[in-house]
């Protein structure tokens, strides 16, 4: 049976743990507000750009730009998996990796080759122990702050891989933020840009709203495609990374809040156990005194 000293030490240990989890919750909450604002600012821009690019792609001729090239035959896929650098964010990474494994199993016969482009230390640690092809490993591109410039080198690397025919398709698996309690793994086709239905966004990253409208383009469509499509790829990748980062912070905040609450419950139980053990010890000492006094009579 644990002694009073052991119980007291455990209470102090749990209190220190609760202080840490509470601090992590507050840090995640502070970061989440900033990142969520950046995500809310980026979503309308990404939606409208999807809408305009979708209209432009639909009106362009086949082969008007290399990013629209649908290559025949067995294709090679480069799959970007956006995970986190740190843990303690609930089941966020577990759900993403489960979805990735299911995707690889499902698409195994659809592609001649699938290579992973891993973002985040947790993705590296998980997939290095699996029988998969890993092409690139990077740490989290947006380490707690929304900086569009940090995404550009990754977008350029993916574009180079596609245009050099090193891969025939680029897809992104990330976690989409829906609410504080709900974050779901999602798939986004980055390249090639598919021809969508009239008025729908190319690739379907986000609902575009009602109708695409009519657009007048100046200068020529070819020059617009040359300038806008690389920017479009960067914006879509940035949006996916913002969604993942917001999901990470929301999940960590929720997990740390739950951990803090559980620690408080454990402290209450341990305090009750401590009080009972102390009361039992006092009662035993009193009984020893009474029995000693009776023996001296």
Any domain includes 259: no
Local structure of residue 193 (DSSP, 8 states): P
Is there a contact between 155 and 162 (Cβ–Cβ < 8 Å)? no
Supply the pLDDT for residue 218: 73
Strand ranges in the chain using DSSP code E only, listed in sequence order: 75-82, 111-119, 133-138, 169-177, 183-191
Any domain includes 21: no
% residues pLDDT > 90 (the chain): 37
pLDDT tens-digit series, residues 147-186: 888 899 999 999 999 988 888 899 999 999 988 888 999 9
Any domain includes 7: no
Residue range(s) defining the domain that contains residue 165: 26-252
Q: How confident is the model at residue 214 (pLDDT cuts 50, 70, 90)?
A: low
Q: What sign results for the dihedral spanned by CA atoms 224, 227, 231, 236?
A: positive
Is there a contact between 59 and 223 (Cβ–Cβ < 8 Å)? no
Supply the pLDDT for residue 279: 86
Is there a contact between 103 and 67 (Cβ–Cβ < 8 Å)? no
What would the mean pLDDT of 239-253 be, rounded to a whole number? Answer: 92
Any domain includes 137: yes
The answer for residues whose C-beta is within 8 angstroms of residue 148's C-beta and 6 or more apart is 234, 238
Is there a contact between 239 and 175 (Cβ–Cβ < 8 Å)? no
Tokens of residue 56, six digits: 């432009």
284: left (phi over 0), alpha (psi -120 to 50) or beta: alpha
What would the mean pLDDT of 46-73 be, rounded to a whole number? Answer: 78
How many independent structural domains does the chain possess?
1
Tokens of residue 239, six digits: 């949006």
Is there a contact between 185 and 153 (Cβ–Cβ < 8 Å)? no
pLDDT tens-digit series, residues 86-133: 888 888 999 999 999 999 999 888 888 899 999 999 999 999 988 889
Residues serving a catalytic function are 89
The number of C-alpha atoms within 13 Å of 291 and in the hemisphere containing its C-beta is 6
CATH number of the domain residue 85 falls in? 3.40.1380.10
Of the listed ranges 22-31, 68-77, 125-134, the one predicted with least confidence: 68-77
What would the mean pLDDT of 43-54 be, rounded to a whole number? Answer: 82
Give yes or no for residue 1 having a pLDDT over 60. no
Any domain includes 281: no
Any domain includes 17: no
Mean pLDDT over all residues of the chain?
84
Give yes or no for residue 49 having a pLDDT over 60. yes
Give yes or no for residue 210 having a pLDDT over 50. no
| Distance from C-alpha of 228 to C-alpha of 64, rounded to nearest angstrom | 13
Any domain includes 264: no
The H-or-E segment that residue 93 falls in is helix 92-106
Any domain includes 236: yes
């Amino acid at each position: 049976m644990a002694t009073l000293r052991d119980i007291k030490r455990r209470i102090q240990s749990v209190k220190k743990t609760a202080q840490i989890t509470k601090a992590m919750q507050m840090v995640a909450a502070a970061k989440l507000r900033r990142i969520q604002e950046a995500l809310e600012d980026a979503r309308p821009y990404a939606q409208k750009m999807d809408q305009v690019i979708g209209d432009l792609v639909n009106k362009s001729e086949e082969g008007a730009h290399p990013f629209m090239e649908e290559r025949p035959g067995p294709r090679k896929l480069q799959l970007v998996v956006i995970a986190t650098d740190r843990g303690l964010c609930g089941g966020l990474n577990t759900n993403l990796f489960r979805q990735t494994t299911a995707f690889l199993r499902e698409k195994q016969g659809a592609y001649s080759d699938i290579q992973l482009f891993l973002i985040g230390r947790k993705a590296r640690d998980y997939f290095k122990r699996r029988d998969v092809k890993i092409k690139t490993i990077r740490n989290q591109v947006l380490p707690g702050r929304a900086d569009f410039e940090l995404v550009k080198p990754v977008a350029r690397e993916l574009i180079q891989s596609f245009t050099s025919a090193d891969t025939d398709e680029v897809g992104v698996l990330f976690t989409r933020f829906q609410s504080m309690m709900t974050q779901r793994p999602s798939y986004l086709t980055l390249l090639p840009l598919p021809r969508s239905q009239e008025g729908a966004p190319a690739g379907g990253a986000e609902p575009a709203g009602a109708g695409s409208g009519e657009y007048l383009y100046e200068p020529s469509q070819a020059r617009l495609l040359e300038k806008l499509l690389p920017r479009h790829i960067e914006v879509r990748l940035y949006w996916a990374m913002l969604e993942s980062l917001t999901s990470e912070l929301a999940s960590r905040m929720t997990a740390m809040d739950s951990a803090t609450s559980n620690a408080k419950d454990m402290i209450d139980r341990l305090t009750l156990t401590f009080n009972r053990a102390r009361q039992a010890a006092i009662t035993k000492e009193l009984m020893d005194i009474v029995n000693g006094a009776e023996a001296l009579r």
